[in-house]
Amino acid sequence: MSNTATTDNAVLVMNDIKMKFGSNYALKGVSVAVRRGEVFGLLGQNGSGKSTLIKVLAGFHQPEEGSEVVLWGEKMALPLDPMLIKKRGVAFVHQHLGLVPSLTVAENMRVTSLGQKNPWFVSWRKEAERLSALFAEFNLDVDPLATVASLPPVERAFVAIIRAFEDLRASDAGYGGEGILVLDEPTPFLPGEDVKRLFDLVRSIVKTGASVIIVTHDIDEVRDITDRVAVLRDGQLVEVLDTKASSRQAILDTIVGSRIDAFAKQRMAAGAAPVTIRVDNLTDGNTPPFSLSLQEGEILGVTGLIGSGFASVPYTLYGARRGAGTLTVSDRKIDLSSITPLMAQRMGVALLPGDRLGAAGIGSLAVTDNITLPILDELSHLAGLDRGAMVKEAGRLSTLHDVRPHNPALALGSLSGGNQQKVLLAKWLRIQPKLLLLDEPTQGVDFGARQQIFKALDDAARAGTSIICASTDNEQLEQICDRILVFSRGRPVVELKGQEINRKAITEACFYSTDAEAAE
Amino acid sequence: MTTIDMPIQKPVSALSRFTLKTEAERFALVAAWLFLIILFGILMPDSFLSWRNFSTMFGSQAVLVVLTLGIIIPLTSGDFDLSGASILTMSSMVIGVFNAQMGWPILPVLIMSLAVGALIGAINAFFVLYFRIHSLIVTLGVGTFVNGVILWMSGSQTISGVSMELVSWVIMGRLWGIPLAFYYALILAAVIWYAFEFTIPGRKLLFVGRGREVSRLNGIPVERVRATSFILSGLISAFAGILYSGMTGSADPLSGLNLLLPAFAAAFLGATTIAPGRFNAFGAVISVYFLVTGITGLTMMGAHAYVQNLFYGGALVIAVSLSQLVRNRQPQDFS
C-alpha cells in the first residue's frame, strides 16, 4: 500500500498518520489530501477513526513518529502544536459547538481573541455592529446580543461556524486569505430543512476561497455537499471517492465493507390486532386537543415541521412534560395532567428521550448500572442487590443487542453513540413495555447500528409492544412505521399508512399540510 | 427479511478487566497510610507504636468519621451539606443545655438532639428544593444561622457536666482497648456501604447525583431522594455531636465547627480510594485515619498545633493530585 497522498493544489496533506491508544491502533497509516476550495468529506461508521483523524489535525492527539501533516506545503513538526495549527488557518467546529448557552452571541464570539487589538477594552456596541455586518455577509440574521440559549439549534450552529470562519480570517493563513474549516458532525441534531440552510452557509464560505472538511456518517449529506469523500474503516483509508460520480449504494458498500441491506419492514394492516392504546384529548396546554389510538404491536410515527407539535407527544404521554388529556393502556386509564414518569412506568409505558447522556442515561456510570436500573427489583434477593446477577444480566443484554465493545463494566459515555443507544434501548425493551415512546431513536447513529436498532424495535413490536416514534428522519420513519401522523399547528392533519408511506410522501405531507393551513 | 451480518466479537473476560493499575489506584491510600505508620514507627518505636496511642486515635476520631459519613450521603446525591459541623455542635449543645444544665434524663435528650439534627436537615431540604437554591448557599446560610443559635443558647460558654452514662457509652466503655465510639463509627460505615452498594435506594441516590433529568425520566422521585439525603445527613451529624459530647463530657459552642473542612477533606480523599470516583464509606473511614495518623505522628515529634491544618489541607491536595496522575489526569467526575 502506498502511504503517501499526493494531489495537485493541496492545502493540507496528511501522510501515513498512525495513532495508537493503549495497544490498539485507532489509525493505521491514513493518508489524505485536501484541495483548495473543495468540500472534503470524511465518512465512516462510528469507531472507524474519522474523529480521531480530526483530533490529530487539531493537535489534541499526538500521532506516532513518521506521521506527517503538511499545511500549505509546510511540514508541521511533531508533536503538533494546536495553537500553531490554528494560527496557520485551520479552524474547528466540534459537534457540541463549544458555545456557552448563558452568554450572548457576541460574548461567545469574543472568546477566541485572535483578531483582538486591545485586550483591555471591548466596546460591545461596536462589536455587535461588526458581528451583524459579518452575519449579513452570509445572509444570516442573528442578533449578536441574544443569549445563545435563546437561539434555535441551527442558529447556534451558525454562530459556531461563523466564529470559526472569523478565526480563519484572523489567522495568518491567509496564505491567500483562505483557510481550512473543519466541521465535525455538525448536523445530527438538526432537522432536514435546517441542514439545507447550514449547507448554504458552507457553500458561501467555500466561495470565499476556503476549504471545508466535513465529518459525518450521513450518506445523503455527503452526496449533497461534498466534492470528494474519503471513506475510513477500522482505522484505514478505504477509498477516496468522487462524490458526483459515485452512487449512494456504492458509497454505502465502501463504508461497511460488506453489503448491509437496509432493514425492511412488513407493515401491519389496520385491524390486524386489537386496539390497546388510546390517547384522548391530548394537549400540551397551547395546542388544540386531539386523540389517537394504537393497535397492539403497531409502530406509529409522528412527524412534521419543527414547531408543529409532534415532538412533545412522547414527553407529555410519559409525564416528562406537563400536558392534559387521558391515556388508556389496555383498560387502565390515567389523567395526563397528573401523570409522573413513575406512574407511567407502572402502567407499562417507557420513554427513550432523544438526549442520550442528558436525559436517557448516565455517561459516567457503567453500562451495567444503566441497563439494570428498571429491573433492580428482579435482581435483588433478601440480602439486597445481587451484584453478580446484575453483571450477568448486563452481559446477556449486551450480547443480545450486539453492544460493542462487549464489556458492561465500561462507562456508558465511553461507547459510541450507536452503542449507547443500543444499551438504552435494551434497558427498556427488557421490561417489555406495552407502550414504548421514542424521540429520534437513531440520531447520530451509524448505518449498521441503525439497522440493528430498527430490527430490535420491530422484534419488540412483534412481541406486542406498541411504539410511538417522534422523528424528522423520514428514512427512519419509512423503514419502521406501520402508520404515520403528520402534524401541523399542534395536531395531526395527515395520516399515511401502508403503501402511502415513503420518504417523498412524508416530506410532501409535512410541507403540504403547512401550506394548506396557511391558505385557510 | 433483513440480514445484518457483523463479525462476532468475543466478550472481554473478567480476568483481563482486573488490571494492576486500577487495583493500585484503589489501594494507594491504604499503602500511604501503612507507609506513614511504618515511618513514624521507625522514628518513635516506643511511643507511636503503642496500642494506647492507636486506641486513642481510633476512639477520638470516631466523631470525624461519623460526620464524614453523614456528608457523603448528600455528596452522592449531588448536594453539598456545609451545615454538618454546625448540626454536630448544635446536637452536643442540646445535650449540654437540657442534660447538664436542666438535668433532664439522658435518653430523651439524645432522641431530642437527633430530632433537632433531622429537623435542620429538613430545613436545608425545604429551602434547596422548594426555592430551587443551590445547596452550597442554603447550607452555608443555615449552618451560620445555627452557629448563632448555639452561641445564644450557651451564652458562648462551654457547658460541662454531661451525664456520665453517655461518657461511658462513648469513651469509657472499651472493647479490646478501643473506645466504643470507634465501633459505632465502623457499624455506621458498614451500614452506609451496604446501602450504597446493595440496596435500591442506594442506586437511586447515585443516579440522582449523576443526572437529575435522567433520574426523573427513569421514574426516580428526585426531590424525595434529595430531601431524604439532607435529613439523613442532619441525623448522622447530630449523632456525631452526641459522640462529641460523650467524648468530652461537655458541650463546647465552637470547637466542633472546626471539623467541617477535615470532614470534606476526608470525603473527597475517600472518593479516590476503595471505589475511586465515588464517595464511599470505607474510603472515608480510611481517609480520616490516614489524616489523623499523619497529624498524630507529627505532633508527637514535636510539631506545633498549626501542623493540623497544614496536613489536612496539604494531604488532601497532594493525595488527590497523585491519584489523578495514576488516572492520567482524566477529569474527576463525582457529579
Q: What is the ipTM of this complex?
A: 0.79
Distance of residue B220 Cα from the nearest chain A Cα, in angstroms: 7
Distance of residue A407 Cα from the nearest chain B Cα, in angstroms: 6
Contact B210 A384 (CB under 8 A): no
Q: What is the pLDDT of residue B4?
A: 44
Pairing mode of beta strands A290-295, A90-93: unpaired
B interface test, pick of A46, A234, A263, A365 with most B CB neighbours within 10 Å:
A365
Q: What is the pLDDT of residue B3?
A: 40
Beta bridge partners of B121: none
Q: What is the pLDDT of residue A118?
A: 63
Contact A364 B210 (CB under 8 A): yes
Q: State the Cα–Cα distance between residues B280 and B257, nearest whole angstrom.
A: 23
Averaged pLDDT of chain A: 83
Distance of residue A83 Cα from the nearest chain B Cα, in angstroms: 21
B interface test, pick of A315, A318, A362 with most B CB neighbours within 10 Å:
A362
For residues A227-253, give the mean pLDDT. Answer: 84
For residues B98-121, give the mean pLDDT. Answer: 91
Q: Over 90: is that where the pLDDT of B144 sits?
A: yes
A interface test, pick of B212, B218, B330, B332 with most A CB neighbours within 10 Å:
B218
Q: What is the pLDDT of residue A164?
A: 84
Q: State the Cα–Cα distance between residues A500 and A518, nearest whole angstrom.
A: 24
Q: What is the pTM of this model?
A: 0.76
Band of the pLDDT at B296, cuts 50, 70, 90? confident
Q: Over 50: is that where the pLDDT of A1 sits?
A: no
Averaged pLDDT of chain B: 85
Cell of B214: 435522567
Q: Which comes out higher in pLDDT, residue B241 or A66?
A: B241
Q: What is the pLDDT of residue B14?
A: 43
Q: Over 50: is that where the pLDDT of A188 sits?
A: yes
* Pairs of CB atoms within 8 A across A/B: 92
**Greatest mean pLDDT range, A474-478, B148-152, B305-309:** B148-152
Q: Which comes out higher in pLDDT, residue B311 or B142?
A: B142
For residues B10-22, give the mean pLDDT. Answer: 53
Contact B9 A385 (CB under 8 A): no
For residues B2-27, give the mean pLDDT. Answer: 54
Greatest distance between any 2 Cα atoms in chain A: 74
Q: What is the pLDDT of residues A138-149, one digit of tens each?
A: 778 888 888 888
For residues B153-173, give the mean pLDDT. Answer: 82
Q: What is the pLDDT of residues B126-137, one digit of tens each?
A: 999 999 999 999
Q: What is the pLDDT of residue B147?
A: 93
Chain B residue closest to A359 (CA)?
Answer: B214
Q: Over 80: is that where the pLDDT of A271 sits?
A: no
Chain A residue closest to B194 (CA)?
Answer: A384
Q: Which of B117, B109, B116 is nearest to B236 (CA)?
A: B117
A80 Cα distance to chain centroid: 29
Helices (H), A208-268: 219-225, 248-256
A469 Cα distance to chain centroid: 16
Band of the pLDDT at A111, cuts 50, 70, 90? low
Task: Collect all residues with Cβ–Cβ distance below 8 Å to A102 and sequence separation of at least 6.
Answer: A147, A148, A149
% of chain A with per-residue pLDDT over 70: 91
Cell of B225: 431522594
Q: What is the pLDDT of residue A25?
A: 77
By Cβ distance, the residue of B2, B17, B200 closest to A407 is B17
Q: Over 50: is that where the pLDDT of A2 sits?
A: no
Q: Which comes out higher in pLDDT, residue B83 or B324?
A: B83
Q: What is the pLDDT of residue B23?
A: 76
% of chain A with per-residue pLDDT over 90: 14
Q: What is the pLDDT of residue A310?
A: 87
Q: State the Cα–Cα distance between residues B248 and B266, nearest whole angstrom.
A: 23
Q: Over 90: is that where the pLDDT of A137 sits?
A: no
Q: Which residues does chain B have within 8 Å of residue A360's beta carbon, measured at their own beta carbons?
A: 214, 217
Contact B219 A374 (CB under 8 A): yes
By Cβ distance, the residue of A261, A362, A395 closest to B2 is A261
> Of the ranges A51-65, A460-474, B320-334, which one carries the lowest mean pLDDT score?
B320-334
Q: What is the pLDDT of residue A8?
A: 63
Q: State the Cα–Cα distance between residues B219 and A433, nearest whole angstrom.
A: 14
Q: What is the pLDDT of residue B17?
A: 47
Q: Over 70: is that where the pLDDT of B2 sits?
A: no
Band of the pLDDT at B187, cuts 50, 70, 90? very high
Q: What is the pLDDT of residues A204-225, one digit of tens each?
A: 888 888 889 998 877 788 888 8
For residues A332-337, give the mean pLDDT. Answer: 89
Q: Which comes out higher in pLDDT, residue B327 or A333?
A: A333
For residues B252-260, give the mean pLDDT. Answer: 88
Report yes or no: A491 and A287 within 8 Å, Cβ to Cβ.
Answer: yes
Kindly list the distances between the CA atom of residue B183 and the CA atoms of B60, B63, B92, B247, B333, in Å, as whole numbers in the listed order: 12, 11, 20, 14, 32
Helix (H, G, I), strand (E, B) or coil at B160: strand
For residues A236-261, give the mean pLDDT. Answer: 78
Q: State the Cα–Cα distance between residues B173 and B176, nearest whole angstrom.
A: 10
Q: Which residues does chain A have within 8 Å of residue B10's beta carbon, measured at their own beta carbons?
A: 406
Q: What is the pLDDT of residue A153?
A: 79
Q: What is the pLDDT of residue A173?
A: 55
For residues A83-106, give the mean pLDDT. Answer: 82
Contact B203 A351 (CB under 8 A): no
Report yes or no: B193 and B285 within 8 Å, Cβ to Cβ.
Answer: no
